[in-house]
């Protein structure tokens, strides 16, 4: 007898999956830019110094959008330091990460790199030391065709054509006490509104108009902030009609010292879903209060696992220190898979998301100076979900058991079901968080006669197993025999204890 039943019907949809939920994030932090995507002299570097081995891995990951240049970094960054002749650019103190920013790589280099990697840029403007005027000037530099000081400067420096940047983040984590020139919700709400208005006037299109630029205002920087969720309400009350998204950020970590370390960590995936539900409710509250027809969505533009207790071992005030270089374990990969399911299961409201980050800094890709680029454990669930989790998410109903975590009850079997009508495919992404194998019956109705085409599993590993430069393939996905399907709708799966699973059906 199956212990867990998962039921899904084609007609019961959650919402369309915006491909931008598979975005990522690149900050001027540690070796993300310098030594990550950019390493002049590396054997795979092109004439601009962009590492082609890294670009190839990013393409394999299936990342459509990258948020840049921060992060905490952006709140002290003067974008004008990063343009023009490289020999004349000045190195500056980066207070966010106690590093030296050489400014060898700036807006024009990022735009060129995006073009090479087939990526859509999402630019963050400085709402810390920066003013609305600085943001407008950056906007003019990037998006205005010609005939003004900054647009002509861009034409002179780098590109005749405007960059046409569509996504603009209005600051970063302005509620955080660590943020350079952080603000209260009231002050940030007013500043963000004024900034968005100026950028909208420069864009000359209304918020909901076709082709208009899109704005993201800062939501709470995580769910444990004492000001959460009031911050989100107040910011939205100031900015609701102008903004298109409110941001969410959340990092989880494995804490061996906690009471039930494994359960507490595995409970993160369901907790992420609860967090999204609260922010959704806050958006709906403000929409109702404003009697508004406008829709604001969530940009979950920083999410990942990050061991924030690890002490810094690199000196301060150097260029590109080795910091935040988390090595992801098999255990991390399991939670990561559940976090991706949380994004999919909220596809109706989460319309953009950025895995934080992309290379070297809490990232799925790690590089060696002058050497290799490797895939961390978390690379694999991201790759499978971004390449296959397309179309729409279907609501799944489950009889899964549960376990207790520091966040409350969490599901033992954590799944998401997607349907891509254009490819006539149904996919199931599933984590078994149980310590023993789980018999699971899938019933996928109304799609037609389903045939299982692919079954991939990541299982059987030591929880601490990780991919390293000396052992890059310690944790890799395994192709298994596709499942038999009964009556075109039912399939029986024996999910390994502690496993991540991917099933692809066609009809
Ligand atoms: O991604 C690392 C940091 O985490 C970002 O700079 C900041 O926005 C968040 O606190």
Confidence of residue 448 (pLDDT cuts 50, 70, 90): very high
Res. 310 pLDDT band, cuts 50 70 90: confident
For residue 150, the model assigns a pLDDT of: 98
Q: What is the mean pLDDT of the chain?
A: 97
Q: What is the rounded CA–CA span in Å between residue 183 and residue 78?
A: 19
- Cα dihedral 83, 88, 93, 99 sign: positive
- Give me ligand 1 centre to Cα 360, in Å: 14
Q: What is the pLDDT of residues 43-67, one digit of tens each?
A: 999 999 999 999 999 999 999 999 9
Instruction: Determine the atom of ligand 1 nearest the C-alpha atom of 302.
Output: 1
DSSP state of 79: G
Could you tell me where the beta strands, DSSP code E, fall in 59-125? 65-68, 92-94, 99-101, 120-125
Whose C-alpha lies nearest to ligand 1, atom 1? 356
- pLDDT of 214 reads 97
Best substitution site from 27, 175, 224 to test ligand 1's pocket, by max atoms within 8 Å of Cβ? Answer: 27
d(CA 507, CA 425): 7
Average pLDDT over residues 165-175: 98
Q: Count the Cβ atoms, other than its own, within 10 Å of residue 341.
A: 28
Question: Is pLDDT above 90 for 385?
Answer: yes
Distance 72 CA to ligand 1 centre (A): 6
Ligand 1 midpoint to CA 47 (Å): 31
Please state, in angstroms and rounded to a whole number, the distance separating the CA atoms of residues 288 and 290.
Answer: 5
Q: According to the 3-state scheme, what is the secondary structure of 425-477?
A: EEEEEEEECCCCCEEEEEEEECCCCCEEEEEEEECCCCCCCECCCCCCCCCCC
DSSP 119: -
Centre of ligand 1 to C-alpha 61, Å, is 21
Domains and CATH numbers, the chain: 4-10+394-506 (2.60.40.1180), 18-27+62-388 (3.20.20.80)
Alpha carbon 140 to chain centroid, angstroms: 27
Nearest CA to ligand 1 atom 3: 71
Pocket perturbation via mutation, ligand 1, pick of 71, 177, 308 by most ligand atoms within 8 A of CB: 71
Q: How far is CA 421 from CA 12, 152, 341, in A?
A: 14, 45, 19
- Confidence tier at 461 by pLDDT (50, 70, 90): confident
Report the nearest atom of ligand 1 relative to the CA of 304.
Answer: 1
The span from the CA of 399 to the CA of 406, in Å, is: 22
Model pLDDT for residues 58-112, shown as the tens digit of each residue: 999 999 999 999 999 999 999 999 999 999 999 999 999 999 999 999 999 999 9
Q: Ligand 1, atom 7: nearest CA belongs to which residue? A: 71
Residues with CB under 6 A from ligand 1: 27, 70-72, 172-173, 221, 302, 356-357
- The percent of residues in the chain predicted with pLDDT above 70, rounded, is 100
| pLDDT tens per residue across span 175-213 | 999 999 999 999 999 999 999 999 999 998 887 789 999
For residue 251, the ligand 1 atom closest to its alpha carbon is: 4
Task: State the catalytic residues.
Answer: 173, 302
Check residue 207 and give its pLDDT.
78
Nearest CA to ligand 1 atom 6: 71
Report how far apart, in Å, the C-alpha atoms of 390 and of each of 339, 394, 426, 466 are. 16, 11, 9, 28
Task: Tell me the average pLDDT across 313-323.
Answer: 96
pLDDT of residue 209: 86
What phi and psi values does residue 149 have, to the nearest 5 degrees? -55, -55
Encode pLDDT of 262-305 as tens digits: 999 999 999 999 999 999 999 999 999 999 999 999 999 999 99
Using CA positions, which residue lies closest to atom 9 of ligand 1? Answer: 71
Q: 2 pLDDT exceeds 70?
A: no
Separation of CA 289 and ligand 1 centre (Å): 32
Q: Is the pLDDT of residue 147 over 60?
A: yes
Residue of 173, 323, 359 with the most ligand 1 atoms within 8 Å of its CB, for mutation: 173
Residue 1 has pLDDT above 60, yes or no: no
Mean pLDDT for 469-490 is 97
Identify the helix (H) or strand (E) that includes residue 499.
strand 499-506
What is the model's pLDDT at position 217?
98
Q: If you measure from the C-alpha of residue 387 to the centroid of ligand 1, how many angstroms do you get, rounded to a whole number?
A: 26
Q: What is the dihedral of CA 265, 301, 241, 197, to 10 degrees?
A: 150
Q: Average pLDDT, stretch 152-178?
A: 98
Per-residue pLDDT tens over the stretch 244-257: 999 999 999 999 99
């Amino acid at each position: 007898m199956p212990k867990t039943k998962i039921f899904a019907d084609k007609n019961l949809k959650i919402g369309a999956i915006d491909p931008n939920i598979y975005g990522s994030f690149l900050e001027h932090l540690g070796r993300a830019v310098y030594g990550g995507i950019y390493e002049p002299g590396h054997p795979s570097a092109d004439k601009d110094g962009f590492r082609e081995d890294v670009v190839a891995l990013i393409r394999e990951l299936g990342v459509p959008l990258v948020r840049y240049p921060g992060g905490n970094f952006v709140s002290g960054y003067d974008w004008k330091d990063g343009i023009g002749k490289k020999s004349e650019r000045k190195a500056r103190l980066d207070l966010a990460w106690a590093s030296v920013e050489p400014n060898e790589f700036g807006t024009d280099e990022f735009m060129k790199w995006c073009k090479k990697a087939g990526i859509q840029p999402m630019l963050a403007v400085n709402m810390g030391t920066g003013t609305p005027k600085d943001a407008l000037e950056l906007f003019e530099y990037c998006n205005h065709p010609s005939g003004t000081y900054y647009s002509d400067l861009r034409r002179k420096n780098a590109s005749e054509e405007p960059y046409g940047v569509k996504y603009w983040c209005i600051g970063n984590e302005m509620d955080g006490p660590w943020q350079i020139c952080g603000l209260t919700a009231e002050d940030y709400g007013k500043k963000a509104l004024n900034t968005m208005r100026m950028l909208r006037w420069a864009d000359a299109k209304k918020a909901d108009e076709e082709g208009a630029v899109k704005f993201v205002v800062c939501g709470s920087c995580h769910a444990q902030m004492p000001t959460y969720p009031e911050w989100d309400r107040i910011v939205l009350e100031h900015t609701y009609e102008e903004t298109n998204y409110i941001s969410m950020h959340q990092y989880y970590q494995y804490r061996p010292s906690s009471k039930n370390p494994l359960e507490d960590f595995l409970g993160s995936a369901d907790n992420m879903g609860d967090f999204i539900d609260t922010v959704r409710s806050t958006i709906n509250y403000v929409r109702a209060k404003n009697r508004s027809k406008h829709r604001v969505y969530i940009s979950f533009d920083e999410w990942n696992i990050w061991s924030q207790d690890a002490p810094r071992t690199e000196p301060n005030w150097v260029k590109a220190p080795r910091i935040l270089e988390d090595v992801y374990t098999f255990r991390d990969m399991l939670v990561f898979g559940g976090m991706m399911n949380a994004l999919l299961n909220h596809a109706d409201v989460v319309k953009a998301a950025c895995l934080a980050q992309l290379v070297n800094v809490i990232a799925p890709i790690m590089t060696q100076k002058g050497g290799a680029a490797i895939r961390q454990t978390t690379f694999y669930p991201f790759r499978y979900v971004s390449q296959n989790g397309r179309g729409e998410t279907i609501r799944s109903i489950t009889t899964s058991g549960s376990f207790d975590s520091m966040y409350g009850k969490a599901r033992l079997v954590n799944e998401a079901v997607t349907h891509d009508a254009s490819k006539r495919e149904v996919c199931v992404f599933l984590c078994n968080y149980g310590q023993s194998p789980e018999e699971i019956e899938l019933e996928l109705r109304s799609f037609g006669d389903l045939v299982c085409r692919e079954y991939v599993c990541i299982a059987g590993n030591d929880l601490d197993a990780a991919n390293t430069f000396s052992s890059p393939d310690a944790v890799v996905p395994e192709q298994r025999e596709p499942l038999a399907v009964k009556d075109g709708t039912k399939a029986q799966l024996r999910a390994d204890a502690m496993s991540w699973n991917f099933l692809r059906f066609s009809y």
